[in-house]
């Protein structure tokens, strides 16, 4: 797949600043999107999700924006903390109903500078 052999892009942010992590998806049939956080040696941890009938959803310190026109998804993290350092993946569900496995994006390594 497109992710094979590629190294993760890195985003370096000062502690306390806001972070924006972007993700492009290719399948216009995708109707459900999720952001996951993965710390080294651990499984992905659910952060926030959004359905295709929405363009914005907010959680605690996080906001997900969905632009279906350009097939783009972003995750905004407010006031980043050292504990936010991790790899962030967007994932999409293709096929409807949530019954299928997820297709993951390439991932972005977020580094928080003190």
Nearest approach, Cβ of 8 to another protein (angstroms)? 5
13, 25, 30, 32: which one contacts another protein (CB under 8 A)? 32
- The tokens for 105 are 């994006």
13, 25, 35, 44: which one contacts another protein (CB under 8 A)? 44
Judged by CB, which is closer to another protein: 97, or 114? 97
- Rounded to whole angstroms, the maximal C-alpha distance in the chain is 42
- The tokens for 70 are 């350009």
- 20 HSE (CA, 13 A, CB side): 6
Indicate whether 30 belongs to the interface with another protein (CB under 8 A). Answer: no
Residue closest to 11 by CA, chosen among 27, 1, 2, 23:
23
Residue closest to 71 by CA, chosen among 105, 104, 27:
27
Judged by CB, which is closer to another protein: 19, or 93? 93
- The tokens for 45 are 């941890």
Judged by CB, which is closer to another protein: 107, or 110? 107
Nearest approach, Cβ of 96 to another protein (angstroms)? 9
Q: Give the binding site for another protein (CB under 8 A).
A: 1, 3-8, 32, 34, 36, 41-46, 49, 51, 89, 93, 97-107
């Amino acid at each position: 797949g497109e992710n094979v052999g590629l190294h993760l892009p890195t985003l370096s942010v000062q502690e306390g600043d806001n972070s924006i992590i972007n993700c492009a998806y290719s399948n216009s049939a995708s109707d459900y999107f999720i952001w996951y956080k993965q710390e080294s040696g651990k499984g992905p941890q659910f952060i926030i999700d959004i359905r295709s009938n929405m363009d914005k959803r907010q959680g605690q310190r996080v906001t997900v924006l969905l632009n279906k026109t350009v097939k783009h998804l972003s995750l905004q993290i407010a006031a980043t903390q050292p504990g936010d350092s991790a790899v962030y993946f967007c994932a999409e569900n293709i096929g409807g109903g949530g019954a299928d496995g997820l297709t993951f994006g390439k991932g972005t390594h977020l580094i928080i500078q003190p």
